Chains A and B, each alone.
Chain A
Amino acid sequence: MQFDSFSAFINMGGYGFYVWLSYGVATALLLILMFSSVTGHKHVIKNIAQRKQREDKLRQVREQRQKQDKQSKSTLSEEVTE
């Protein structure tokens, strides 16, 4: 241990401000990067899930319409034959 007391450790031989500024800024930037990387990953997953939901809904609507079209066509042809 290079320091006799905790206050000497904080003081860093008079360079405390500069040393703790460096370590503080580095820690803060790395935490920001960590946060943005993790939330970015979740964001990507959420985006893909949303797009998938939208596409599923569109497909459902399309299939329903096709069914309705077929039904209306068949009723039309029935009417014509009648």
Chain B
Amino acid sequence: MWKWLHPYANPEVSYHFAGKILPWLSALAALFLSIGLIWALAFAPADYQQGDSFRIFYIHVPAASLSMGIYLGMAIAAFTSLVWQFKLADASAAAMAPVGATFTAIALITGAAWGKPMWGTWWIWDARLTSELILLFLYLGVIALHNAFEDKNLAGKAAGILTLVGVINLPIIKYSVEWWNTLHQGSTVSKLGKPSMSVDMLWPFVFCFLGFIFLVSVFICIRFRSEILARNSIRPWVRTLVSEHIAQEKTNAV
């Protein structure tokens, strides 16, 4: 059943596959984000309580849920790498960490800029905000560990263990608004089947969310490719690929 997946365990096949889907993902990301963001900024109705400050929602919520989604993906990759010694999984985990950190930072900063006019404060040490900040530190720790060792297998192991320990933070973030009394409002979109949002607010959100998912995939593909090259730098196929690339650059320069 899973046999079609086997060739992708080969770094060379994965490298070229990621390169092939990259332009498509970029085009989809540009399409969905431009439609979604213009819709969100200019055409979606203002919230009856929050006015136009509500438009921050269209980047805050996708960024926050993707920051958790990327962490989950990174944890699954770290687990496969630790249990089955699957080296490509390490490369993908290393590729995801900086992307996740960026989206966590975006979620925190847009949240602060939304909190100031709505709650009257940029920052408050409440459960949702604090656990999201811890997520940022987990990402930074994982990035640091990936770069701390010359031996990439060892680095992958150390970063993988930190990633798996940090998974405990994900349910804490998700349910923090239900477990504790916080300023942060509960979720509006992910109530399954019956989102408590009007449809003309929900559609631009769907476009933004899909656009950000495609954008994340673009980033991960680019970084995944560099990680594969760096980890397989002595392989003949990387050597030929690199010399071809350099030759092409020279002809372009001339």
- Chain A interface mostly: helix
Partner of B219, one of A2, A25, A37, A49: A37
Q: Within the complex, what minimum Cβ distance (angstroms) separates B235 from chain A? A: 10
Contact A48 to B242, CB < 8 A, known contacts A33-B98, A33-B102 = yes
B60 at the interface (CB under 8 A from A): yes
Bound-complex Cα distance A45 to B37 (A): 35
Complex-state Cα separation, A2 to B41, whole angstroms: 9
* Whole-angstrom CA separation of A18 from B53 in the bound complex: 7
Q: A9-B42, A52-B242 are in contact. Are A19 and B99 (CB under 8 A)?
A: no
Q: Are A2 and B46 in contact (CB under 8 A)?
A: yes
Q: Does A45 contact B106, Cβ atoms closer than 8 Å? A: no
Chain B interface main SS type: helix
**B238 smallest CB distance to A (angstroms):** 6
Q: How many residues of B contact A (CB 8 A)?
A: 41
**Contact A21 B113, beta carbon cutoff 8 Å:** yes
Contacting pair B56 A34 (CB below 8 A):
no
Q: How far is the CB of B123 from chain A (nearest CB, A)?
A: 14
Please report the C-alpha to C-alpha distance between residue A41 and residue B226 in the assembled complex, in whole angstroms.
5
Chain A residues with Cβ below 8 Å from B189 are none
Residues of B close to A51: CB separation below 8 A: 233
- Shortest CB-to-CB span from A2 to chain B, Å, is 6
Q: How many Å from the CB of A48 to the closest CB on chain B?
A: 5
Residues of A within 8 A of B222 (CB): 37-38, 41
Q: Is B144 an interface residue when CB atoms closer than 8 A count as contact?
A: no
User: Does B126 reach chain A (CB closer than 8 Å)?
Assistant: no
* CB-CB under 8 A for A14 and B238, given A25-B109, A30-B102, A36-B98: no
Q: Which residues of A contact B (CB under 8 A)?
A: 1-3, 9, 12-15, 18-19, 21-23, 25-26, 29-30, 32-34, 36-38, 40-41, 43-45, 47-49, 51-52
